[in-house]
Amino acid sequence: MKTFITAATLLLVSTASFAQTTARTPSEAAAPIAAAGDWSASKLSGVNVYNDANDKIGEISDVIITSQGQVKGVVIEAGGFLGMGKHYVLVTMSSLKFSNKTGKTTTGQTSANERELYPDRAVLNLTKDDLKALPEFKY
């Protein structure tokens, strides 16, 4: 009987502590924060690009560097389905805003103090159709 009372008390205490945690709203949990710091160019490849309406409009495919060692821009892959109809465009780094998910600092550190060498997303103020209308980048 004593074991039953102890178990019931522990159960009540543990459920009471769960009830006191504050729930996060989806918008609060998903709100991106500005990203800064140094990133690996090879890790930028594959970062998704979104517009201001939070629609995915493409993905970073490559980073182009001039012969003087300056970043000319990034190549974004827009459109296409199963490898068909891909359209590559070059955009300057200054036209992109990089951000991280909530829970990461702006220096690319995760809450566990692990260094990540890339941002979570890039934001470009264009629609998918605007991006496809840009001149195609040829390798």
pLDDT in tens, 71-128: 999 999 987 666 667 889 999 999 998 887 644 444 444 445 555 667 888 899 999 8
The pLDDT, as a whole number, for residue 54 is 87
Helical ranges in 21-136 per DSSP H = 26-30, 41-44, 128-133
Residue 109: inside a domain:
yes
Asked whether residue 56 is domain-assigned, the answer is yes
Residue 122 placed within a domain: yes
* Number of domains into which the chain is organized: 1
pLDDT reported for residue 77? 93
**99 lies in a domain?**
yes
* Pairwise CA distance, residues 132 & 136, whole Å: 8
Banded model confidence at residue 130, pLDDT cuts 50, 70, 90? very high
What average pLDDT score do residues 27-44 get? 63
pLDDT (tens digit, 9 = 90+) per residue, 72-85?
999 999 876 666 67
Answer yes or no: is 51 within a domain.
yes
pTM (2 d.p.): 0.64
The pLDDT of 8-21, averaged and rounded, is 46
Q: Which amino acid is at 96?
A: L
Beta bridge partners of 96: 124
CATH code assigned at 61: 2.30.30.240
Residue 41 included in any domain:
yes
Residue 85 lies in a domain: yes
| Range of the structural domain that residue 46 is part of | 31-133
For the stretch 52-73, pLDDT in tens is: 888 999 999 999 999 999 999 9
Residue 25 lies in a domain: no
